[in-house]
Amino acid sequence: MVSSDAFDLSIVIVNWNTREYLLGALESIVKQMGEINVEVIVVDNNSSDHSAEAVRERFPDVELIANKTNTGYAEGNNQGLVRSSGTYVLLLNPDVILPDHSLKTAFEWMEARSDVGALGVRLVNPDGSVQRSVRGFPNPFAVLCEATGLSRMFPKSHLFGAYRMTYFTYQTEAEVDQPMGTFLLISRRTLEQVGLLDEQFTIFFNEVDWCYRAKKLGWKIVFAPLFDVIHYGGGSTRQVKPKMAWESRRGLLDFYKKHYPSPLFAPIYWLAVIGSWLQAKVISSRRSNEIEK
């Protein structure tokens, strides 16, 4: 992995068929590039909407990796991470708009916090409403609370609602487990210790797994409401929604198998498997009905 102080910040964006969102995100980045030394790396996963051509034409200074196949989100990010050289690396979704001065603000915040390995900020919908973008790790008890409905019965409970963190206000700075990978700012020193994303988590839970490994090594992961990032949400995944519903749940199960393999947790694991399968079938059925209408 390249390690250099040539750039203050490297931004890695993995794109698949979200051309207009991507161009908007890049516009919001380019306006800020004079404030700190930034490199931008776009990894296009064989989009059919001419995303790669648009980036070449409108943003010639952006480093473009144009894949011949859809390698998936984790592998795409790893391609960008290996190519990056900034003191910090920002994993960024293409369907976002960054507010003015946000890159400089986040960079300076990280510079002052050498104990922090990764930073997440507040994500909002286009109407300004806050997105629930922070969760706890899906440990066996948290998974049990989800599968049995306890988390929905007691949404304000820090104990029963530990996974989805429905009690979290998004108003104050806090050490957390896993901010959404839509905007995840990572220290180079942390990246060198933790390593790249685990590519067995092709689309979902790769950043969850990365954060889990980072915290096991003693790094802090922090949510700070430094600014609001507009996140349109699911620009790529909504194109194949039924499949993505299952992929999300499969990512959870793969995470569970990797980090909690003990036979003692097998009943909880299979409860989660059955619940995930039923949820995926319901979502798929709803999608089929929408298409028929």
Domain ranges of the chain: 7-130+168-232
- The pLDDT of residue 68 is 96
If you search the block for the tokens 């473009």, which residue do you land on? 64
Write the CA distances from 222 to 87, 106, 117, 134, 193, integer angstroms: 18, 12, 8, 10, 18
Q: Which portions of the chain are predicted below pLDDT 70?
A: 1-5, 234-248, 265-266, 268-270, 272-293
- The pLDDT of residue 284 is 58
Domain 7-130+168-232 has CATH 3.90.550.10: yes
Measured distance CA(252)–CA(249) in Å, rounded: 5
- The pLDDT of residue 254 is 83
pTM, to two decimals: 0.87
- The pLDDT of residue 196 is 98
- The pLDDT of residue 33 is 92
pLDDT digits (tens, 9 = 90+) for 17-53: 999 999 999 999 999 999 999 999 999 999 999 999 9
- The pLDDT of residue 30 is 97
- The pLDDT of residue 236 is 46
Task: Tell which residue, 134, 135, 132, 155, has the closest CA to residue 145.
Answer: 155
- The pLDDT of residue 4 is 44
- The pLDDT of residue 281 is 61
- The pLDDT of residue 245 is 59
- The pLDDT of residue 1 is 38
- Residue 22: which H helix or E strand, with range? helix 19-30
